Structure 1
Amino acid sequence: MDSAAHSSETDQEFKSKTERKNVKRKAISSPYFHRLQRRHFILFDILPIFGVVLAALLSLYLPISALDIGLFILFWALTGIGVSVGYHRYFTHRSFKATPAVAVLLTILGSMAGQGALLSWVAMHRRHHELSDQPGDPHSPNLHGSGIIGGIKGLVHSHFTWMKAHDYPNVVYYAPDLLRDPLISKTARYYYTWVLLGLLAPALLGGLLSQSWWGALSGFLWGGVIRMFVVGHIIWSINSVLHRVGTRPYQSRDYSRNGGVLGLFTFGESWHNNHHAFPESPSFGLQWAIFDPGYWFVRGLSLVGLAWDLRVPTAQRRSSRKKRNVQSL
């Protein structure tokens, strides 16, 4: 090998090592953060499983009521919008602008879902987009080997187990805009208060509307715990399933895919390949007729003057990103 070739190879190795080092600096790995992550994982990801089991056992003695279903749907919708429209489209990608009152409300509703504090969630998701399906992506299902075993390990990791301990994205690097916003930073600081509100509000409503302690318990389970369990798995399925299965109509540098049939349950989040192709768009369906309740909510806000500057890509830009052959698995 001549000296020029050797020098070029050495430069490439140095550049590669430097890039890997810089990536690591953007995230923090420490026992302290891992303890906090495990505590959150147990409280809001493991314990709701027991709540679902308890509700199933209680239903053997007293049938599930219309009030239970109503409270579940109400708080599923409120917290789902909080995560999809608030945490994701507004705070992470800044895909539209909104009044301070709307921003505060979306912070509270998103926090009630129990998916993590706002600044941490935003930092994590911005890191995901930066390194999607590459080393450093916190929840890719595609980095755990090939074959059936590797696929299963990847899906389990990306859907659930990654949350118990992972590198913590540096919020100073990934979310400086939120740190500079005193109103949002102060509101987000009360994350655990808002999570508790999301559990106690349906219990209070259940008790008042049924005039019974049983109604309060049932409201706590259905509008609080079971709702948290369901919303969590809906969000996690985007990380896991839709980086492995679905259609890929748009060019992207990762394995993000669309799963349109899940649109109703995910508030439009299942148009995941669309989103990775145009992350700045508040519309994930990219067309009005495509089922995207999250975007319809944003459009509703804009019609009454509470949101503006919706950055939906033009038809020409969408066409330029189209793949010639739609891929699916």
Structure 2
Amino acid sequence: MSLIATDRVVPATDTSATEGRIVWDAPKSLWWFGHLAGTIIAVTVFPQWDGVGVMLLLTALTVCAGHSVGMHRLLIHRTFEAPLWLERALVWLGTLVGMAGPMGMIRAHDMRDWHQRQAECPHHPSHGAGFWRDAWWQMHCRFDLAHPPRFQIEPQIADDPVLRLIERHWMAQQIPLAVILWALGGWAWVFWGISTRIVLSLSGHWAVGHFAHRQGHQGWRIEGLPVQGYNLPGLGLITFGENWHGNHHAFPHSARHGIEPGQLDPGFWFIRALETLGLARAIRLPDSAPPREGLTRVIPLAAPRERLINEP
């Protein structure tokens, strides 16, 4: 069976997208459990509202500006352009989410995307397992292919000295923030602003990915693929637009995820704010690239397509 290649994933003649095994990823798992212990300390030893407020504020900053905009829409998909210093800053904020460094995030994202574009996709990259098993697999394990494809990151990213430094010490990026939090609010702010935030962010990221690949609203589908993306209405504000995953599957090149009326997308609002400040340009929308092969409309549009997906 021939395998589809993507920009960063190039299968070899012996590559298989299905032959592999799920193994416990000790560093990733111990990282999560360590911060779970810190979360328990925050809740039981330091049950204070200022800590909760710091956690919520930093979660919004790192997940919206860092993960959704910096890592996902800019670094991975190049849906807009920004000055190099700003790109590095946003990626650093995304690293603070606690999931991986910039290269690790690109690899995890693109390998999952590659799997989901093949004729057959295993349960791990498709989120096909049950709720608890998928949670364990995604947050504590990895899927090792017996014959993996070649993975190539473009030199613009792979050779960037700042991104390479962040990647090499991605877990240690929490330390400067922890020092600041300790100076301002003591250990309570450290446990709330670091450990509790990381556990909430990682668990929330998995939950959105789990449900957004199983069922929900669909505006479009990609015919011929075993894995579809779904929208999760009502979660736009707390996921910063990442809940519109069905739209993202349809238009992965678009900086805007919430493309239909009423689909709130704070991540895109942030990009528009950067544009107003002269810090973002060449912002791509659904019509900025040809439609994906197999793209099919599921629900009729409530407004003309050109107006709907290109309006500010």
Is TM more than 0.5 here?
A: yes
Q: Helix, strand or coil for the counterpart of 1:98?
A: coil
Q: Helix, strand or coil for the counterpart of 1:274?
A: helix
Structure 1: distance between partners of 2:149 and 2:267: 26
Alignment of 1:22-171 (within 5 A): 22-23=15-16, 37-43=25-31, 45-58=32-45, 63-65=47-49, 67-81=50-64, 82-132=66-116, 134-135=120-121, 138-142=124-128, 144=129, 152=130, 155-167=131-143
The code of the aligned residue for 2:280 comes to A
Structure whose alpha-carbon radius of gyration is higher: 1
Offset at residue 79 of structure 1 (A): 1.4
Offset at residue 289 of structure 1 (A): 5.4
Q: Does 1:180 align with 2:164?
A: no
Deviations 1:184-217 (A, max 9, x none): 33343331231323444333321xxxxxxxxx11
Is 1:127–1:174's contact at 8 Å kept on the other side of the alignment?
no
Relative distance call for 1:108 and 1:83 in structure 2 (3 A) is same
Structure 1: distance between partners of 2:183 and 2:20: 40
Deviations 1:204-247 (A, max 9, x none): 321xxxxxxxxx11101211111111111111112212112311
Deviations 1:88-123 (A, max 9, x none): 111111111111111111121111111012101111
Q: Which runs of 5+ in 1 are unaligned?
A: 1-11, 145-151, 207-215
Q: Which runs of 5+ in 2 are unaligned?
A: 4-10, 302-312
Is 1:112–1:196's contact at 8 Å kept on the other side of the alignment?
no
Is 1:268–1:285's contact at 8 Å kept on the other side of the alignment?
yes
The code of the aligned residue for 1:233 comes to S
The code of the aligned residue for 1:194 comes to Q
| TM-score (norm. length: structure 2) | 0.78
Q: Size of the alignment, in residue pairs?
A: 282
| TM-score (norm. length: structure 1) | 0.74
What residue in structure 1 maps to residue 306 of structure 2? Answer: none
Q: Does 1:192 align with 2:171?
A: yes
Q: Larger relative contact order (C-alpha < 8 A, sep ≥ 6)? A: 2
Offset at residue 51 of structure 1 (A): 2.2
Is 1:23–1:136's contact at 8 Å kept on the other side of the alignment?
no
Structure 1: distance between partners of 2:158 and 2:288: 35
- Identity percentage of aligned residues: 24
More helix by share: 1
Alignment root-mean-square deviation, CA:
3.3
Relative distance call for 1:221 and 1:248 in structure 2 (3 A) is same
